[in-house]
Structure 1
């Protein structure tokens, strides 16, 4: 009886330990190749506006399948493209304008050009890249903190000089020519 309980316990332990998603060497090589060639396109499927989490009354204004903590961007055009030394982004924005700046017809985050600063780091313990870009857009400064995972998912955190922070969750792929 004791050995039966010990056997079941060890199977549960081994089962739980092996349930962690492993990343293959091919996925890691694909990620490194995409970053080294600087040819990446990210399409986000959800956004998390940090300022909305304690706001009430806006639920009916959000797209279907959304809540204040996670806004669906499915069927909503958006992209973040890295091509050589340039960034091209067009992302819908949900949040608050804090100070300064004009109210224009452009309500999203838009940038096309070369970043003022770029920082790229590979985290070998987590098999992911952390990329940071300082973007001087038309009337605001943006800091884009991008995390690319080997399983082709991404997290993009945008800090603005005049708007509240927003986080985008999506998928990345090598940029098609």
Structure 2
């Protein structure tokens, strides 16, 4: 019986000491994110692209062409230039695209990255749970219009989803910072 109580005590100590390390969000982090969103002056640099997993993207993954640590549903972007910037009423981006297009690209087409540089349309901000923000807007380039959804969190992590009529949707995860 004594061994059972000692074993129970050891298991209880191990259970409570192995509690996951949850990072506490500080008031300063919440305020910094609030200022970024209110000023509409931030840049997001993504570290991962999350394309829709299709037969074609799975075949690319199987070919070994993706960076180390990547899979068909999560492609490592570290070391690859990419950004999405909102500055006042302007939006600019260069995001590598991995996925399928539903429309033919004209002769002399560009490299297929998601690039736009123009005025933000239909810009809305919604405050979410745990002091996060969801920003929705529309951006366009010559022949393509994108629905952009950005989730920003107090730890300055970001999650972008881009939807277009001519491409499969894709998401990006990364970090947000001030454009200053």
The answer, yes or no, to whether TM exceeds 0.5 is yes
Q: CA deviation at 1:158?
A: 0.5
Work out which of the two has the higher radius of gyration on C-alpha atoms and give 1 or 2: 2
Matches of 1:105 and 1:99 in 2, distance apart?
14
Note the residue ranges of structure 1 that are not aligned, 5 or more in a row: none
**CA–CA distance in structure 2, aligned partners of residues 97 and 132 of structure 1:** 23
Q: Which range moved further: 101-110 or 35-44? A: 101-110
The root-mean-square deviation of aligned C-alpha atoms, in Å, is: 2.4
Give the TM-score of the pair, scaled to structure 1. Answer: 0.85
> Is the Cα contact below 8 Å between 2:125 and 2:134 reproduced in 1?
yes
Aligned to 2:123: 118
Deviations 1:19-56 (A, max 9, x none): 43321111000000111111101101110101447743
Contact 1:130 1:148 in 2 (8 A): yes
1:74 shift after superposition: 1.1
> Against the structure 1 CA distance between its residues 100 and 119, is the aligned structure 2 distance closer, same or farther, given a 3 Å change threshold?
farther
Query: Which whole-Å deviations, capped at 9, do the CAs of 1:123-147 have from their partners, x for residues lacking one?
Result: 1x32111001111221111011000
| Cα distance in 1, alignment partners of residues 132 and 46 from structure 2 | 18
Partner in structure 2 of residue 106 of structure 1: 111
Within the alignment, does 1:89 sit opposite 2:97 as a pair? no
